[in-house]
Structure formats: C-alpha cells, structure tokens
Amino acid sequence: MSHFEFELEHTDSGSLARAGIWTTPHGAVETPCFMPVGTLASVKGLTPGQLRQVGVQKVLANTYHLALRPGPEVVADLGGLHGFMSWDGPILTDSGGFQVFSLAKLRKLDENGVKFRSHLDGSLLKLTPESAMRIQEQLGADCIMCLDECPPADAPREQMLAAVDLTTRWARRCRDAHQRDDQALFGIVQGGIDREMRERSAEALLPIDFPGYAVGGLSVGEAPPQMYETLDFTVPILPEDRPRYLMGVGTPTDLIEGVSRGIDLFDCVMPTRNGRNALAFTSLGKLRIRNEQFKLDESPLDPECECPTCTQFTRAYLRHLFMVKEMLGPILLSWHNIAFYQKLMRDMRQAIREDRGAEFRSVQLARWNASS
C-alpha cells in the first residue's frame, strides 16, 4: 500500500488553478500549499507551535546545510528531522541542487556528482545522486528531491542542454538508489526559460514515473514575466495526477500566478528574510515598518489579518522594536509574514473550490497594483 496519495478535488473553470489533498505519512496537505523554509531544521525565529498556530502544514529543510551541520547521522540518531526539530507534520528536503547554482564558486561538478568546499570552513563535501539519497533517507523527510544541476538563467544553450541531460541521468541514479517507500522522491524539470529545453527535460523524466514533479531553475535571474511564460509551457506537460512543485518561489504575486498555472506546492525564504529586515507583506501591499510615518501609528500591521502580531501589537510598537534592535521585532514580522502567506493560500484554495480562482487572481493583483 502506498504511503502517498494525491486527490485532485477541483480545477478552476477559468484557469489551470487546482485544489487537492496530498496525503503523506505525517499528515495530509491541502494544496495549493506554501512551505516555509527551515534550512537548518528551523524556520528562523519561530517555534513549531507558532507555525502551526498560523496554519503552516509543511516545512522545508536543506540537505547540503544539514549534511555539514550537524550531519545526517546525528539527525538520524535523534529521531530524524521530525523528532530533531519537534515538527510532527510533513517535511520536504531539497537535495543540495540549488547550492550547485548558489555556491558555484565553491564547487566542482562532473558526471559523478558535485564537490563543495564548505562555505563554513573549507572542508570537502561530495554529493552524488547516491549520497544525496542516503543523506535524505537519514534525515527522514516525507518528500525528498533528486540531485540536479540548476544552471543560471542566462546560461548559453550548450550549457543549458548539458545541465538538462545531466539532471536526467542523475534522476535515474537517484531513483535506483532510493530505498525508503515512506518517502516520495520528486524529479526536477530544468531548462531555464527555453521551451525546447523544458520539454526535453520533462519528456525524459516522465518515463521514470516519479510520484511528483518539481519545476526548478526559476527565480534565478529571469524577469517575472519570463518565469510565468515558462510555467505556461512547462506545467501542462506534467502529469495531472501528481503534485507539482515550483521550487524557491516567491512573492505573493508569484504564488498567485503560479497557482493560476497549475502549481500545487511552493517554498521561499522571502517571508522570514523580509520579516527580519522590517518588511511586511499585507493585504494592502508591502509595508516598510521602519518608516517614520509609523512612529505614532496605533493601527494593526494588517487590518485584515488575525495573526498574533496583528491582533496584539501596533505598527508604532513594531517600528520601535526595529529602531532599538530588539529581537522581538524580526520575530513578530516573520510570524505575520508566514501567517499572511498561509492565509493567501487558504483564500486561493477556497476560491478554486468555488470556481472563482480566475476572479480571485484578477481582484487581488489589481488591489496590490493600486497600492504600490
């Protein structure tokens, strides 16, 4: 019996947006879903209880970083990621493939895998498709990713072609090395913004028959309209009966545009990274809470949000926390931003089920554009 099941509940009549339920060993995930990033087995500044309080269903952790510290053996000995970080819901781990892009100056890549010089102390870490599977099996996430090569958006065609084909060969090796049937292994479609490359990647990965497929290699330098156009011709190639995951994306607008094109899962550091830097996402658009205009503002951060930050504290107080460098400020804004993203996904799920997904997109984007 499979540990995973994806049930497609409804597809919006005016778009490709879809609502579903993805059942995992650690609970069901209603889709579309946004996963906060807990790179080092921690969503920065927030406890698992705080995440649950604002509706988080699933979190993400990173294979490369956890392989360096504390090491997969340590995590495995302490109950896997679920026990280690005291999170009883579903978890996804990236394979380290994004670090092939982001740490390009610290790595060497060949057919067998990739060698990193640690960004911490220069020590050597070698990731191959086989070791990426072994590490992720030790970490114990519900959903794990194939090792892939993520080329930059402006990579020349020859480099893009080589990355696509290497990603396919590595995907087969990951499939062959993967042993745990209580983990869903996703294949990753690469190809930049080139339609032919995306089609080549997807058509090579589909016969491997992964239980889910990710779209990687976006939000790495291309303009948003290019990303959306790439989704237009990539997502329809992917199986309708499997979860579709857009990796490392993004802004609230990106989420709406991705959902409208049939994406089910998202992750990004943006809510917490911006929260730590005094930028809040709200129903009225972005607010930079350090601005002088909020010094005496007694209103809530977002009048339409019911998170603890918005129901208990004023804009003036939040600004004060940042101005005096109190750690509570970044915590409260990160908490709100995560709550905002979760509410946005809940509202989209409801709109899709009521067959007004396209209307929701138009109204919400127009509202944000009017306030910018």
Peptide bond into 32 cis (omega under 30): yes
pLDDT of residue 102: 76
Cβ pair 351, 10 in contact under 8 A: no
Q: Which of 12, 148, 254, 267 is catalytic?
A: 267
pLDDT of residue 5: 97
> pLDDT tens for residues 41-73?
999 999 999 999 999 999 999 999 999 999 999
Burial of 37 (0-12, 13-18, 19+ CB in 10 A): buried
If we measure between CA atoms, which residue out of 93, 30, 51 comes closest to residue 272?
51
Residue 107: which pLDDT band, with cuts at 50, 70 and 90?
A: confident
- pLDDT at residue 101 above 90? no
DSSP secondary structure string, 155-204?
Answer: --HHHHHHHHHHHHHHHHHHHHH---TTSEEEEEE--TT-HHHHHHHHHH
- Residue 77 main-chain phi, psi, to 5 deg: -65, -25
**Any catalytic annotation for residue 267?**
yes
149 Cβ neighbours under 8 A, 6+ residues apart:
97, 100, 109, 114, 163, 166, 167, 170, 190
**Any catalytic annotation for residue 154?**
no
Peptide bond into 250 cis (omega under 30): yes
> pLDDT tens for residues 130-173?
999 999 999 999 999 999 999 888 899 999 999 999 999 999 99
* Domains of the chain and any CATH numbers: 34-234+245-258 (3.20.20.105)
Q: Which of 94, 148, 264, 302 is catalytic?
A: 94
Q: Find the mean pLDDT for residues 334-347.
A: 98
